[in-house]
Structure 1
Amino acid sequence: MPKLFWRKPRSSNDHVAAAMTLHESVADEKASPTKITAYRRAIDHLENDRKWQSDMAVGKRIGLYKLSGELGKGNFSQVKTGYHELTKERVAVKILDKTKLTAKAKKMLSREISVMESIHHQNVIRLFEVIETYTKYYLVMEHAAAGELFKRLISEGRMHESEAKTIFAQLVLAVKHLHDRSIVHRDIKAENVFLSSRGVAKLGDFGFSITVSSDEKLETFCGSPPYAAPELFLDQRYVGRPVDVWSLGVLLYFMTTATMPFLGDNMASLRQSILAGRMTTPAWMSQPLRLLIESMLNTSSDGRIKVDQVLKSEWLKEASAYQNRFNNNSVYGHWCAYPTADCSEATDTELNARRALEALGIGKAMLDEHGPRGSRSNVVATYRIAVHRLLQQRRLMVQTPAAPVAKPLKKTKSRLCAIT
Structure 2
Amino acid sequence: MADSGGSTSFLQGTDEGEFHNKYEPKEILGRGLSSTVRRCVSRDTGLEYAVKIISRTQDEVINESIAAEIEVLNLLPKHPNIIQLYDKFETPAYIFLVFELACGGELFDYLTKVVRLSEKKTRLIMQQVFSGVHHMHSSCVVHRDLKPENILLDKNGNVKISDFGFATRVEENDELSDLLGTPGYLAPELLKRSTEPDAPGYNKEVDLWACGVIMYTLLAGFPPFWHRKQLIMLRKIMNGDYEFVSPEWDEISDAAKDMIRRLLTVDPKQRMTALEALEHPFLESKPAEFVIFSAGRKLKAILWCVRFCVAVDRSRKTPKVVTIKDIGTSPYENRYIRKLIDTCAFHIYSPWVKRGEEQNRAALFETAPKVAMKHPNFYISSAAVTFTFT
TM-score, normalised to structure 2, is 0.67
Deviation at 1:238, TM superposition (A): 2.4
Change (3 A) 1:225 1:81: same
Distance 1:405 1:102, change over 3 A: closer
The secondary structure found in structure 1 opposite 2:268 is coil
Match for residue 232 of structure 2?
269
- In the alignment, the residues of structure 2 paired with residue 288 and residue 185 of structure 1 have an alpha-carbon distance, to the nearest angstrom, of 26
- Residue pair 1:19, 1:63 contacting (<8 A) in 2 also: no
Where is the strand percentage greater, Structure 1 or Structure 2? 2
1:107 paired with 2:64, answer yes
**1:212 partner amino acid:** V
Match of 1:92 in 2: 50
1:406 Cα deviation after fit: 12
The answer to whether the aligner puts 1:72 opposite 2:30 as a matched pair is: yes
- Tell me the secondary structure at the aligned position of residue 134 of structure 1: coil
Instruction: Name which of 100, 104, 107 aligns with 1:146.
Output: 104
Q: Deviations over 1:91-116 (max 9, x none)?
A: 111111113x5112111111111111
Q: Give the conservation status (yes or no) of the 8 Å contact 1:9–1:133.
A: no
- Residue identity matched to 1:85: R
Q: Secondary structure at the match of 2:86?
A: strand
> SS of the counterpart of 2:24?
strand
Cα shift readout 1:54-93 (whole Å, capped 9, x = no counterpart):
xxxxxxx734111122111111111111111111111111
**1:289 equivalenced with 2:246 (yes/no):** no
Q: Which residue of 2 aligns with 1:176?
A: 134
Mapping of 1:217-366 within 5 angstroms?
A: 217-234=175-192, 235=194, 236-281=199-244, 282-318=249-285
Q: Distance in 2 between matches of 1:405 and 1:69?
A: 25
Partner Cα distance (1:140, 1:92) in 2: 6
Tell me which amino acid in the other structure corresponds to 2:221: A
Whichever residue aligns with residue 111 of structure 1, its letter is A
Instruction: Provide the residue aligned with 2:340 in structure 1.
Output: none
Identity %: 28
> In the alignment, which of 73, 81, 97 is matched to residue 116 of structure 1?
73
Return closer, same or farther for 1:216/1:404 CA change in 2, 3 Å cut-off. Answer: closer
**Structure with a larger share of its residues in helix:** 1
Alignment-mate amino acid for residue 283 of structure 1: D
Contact 1:9 1:21 in 2 (8 A): no
- Unaligned 5+ segments in structure 2 are 7-13, 294-390
Q: Which has the larger radius of gyration?
A: 2
3-state DSSP of counterpart to 2:132: helix
Q: CA deviation at 1:252?
A: 0.7
Cα separation, partners in 2 of 1:289 and 1:191, compared to 1, 3 Å: same
Match of 1:131, as an amino acid?
F
- Is residue 97–residue 135 contact of structure 1 (8 Å, CA) maintained in 2? yes
Distance (Å, rounded) in 2 between the aligned partners of 1:287 and 1:199 = 26
Unaligned runs of 5+ in 1: 11-17, 23-60, 323-401, 408-420
Deviations 1:100-147 (A, max 9, x none): x51121111111111111221011000011111111111111110101
Secondary structure at the counterpart of residue 62 of structure 2: helix
Deviation at 1:272, TM superposition (A): 1.1
How many residues align? The count is 277
Residue in structure 1 matched with residue 356 of structure 2 by the alignment: none
- Residue aligning to 1:44: none
Does the 8 Å contact 2:190/2:202 carry over to 1? no
Q: In 2, are the aligned partners of 1:186 and 1:209 still within 8 Å (CA)?
A: yes
Q: Is the 8 A contact 1:184 1:241 kept in 2?
A: yes
1:174 CA displacement: 0.6
Per-residue displacement from partner, 1:373-403 (whole Å, max 9, x unpaired)?
xxxxxxxxxxxxxxxxxxxxxxxxxxxxx74
TM norm structure 1: 0.62
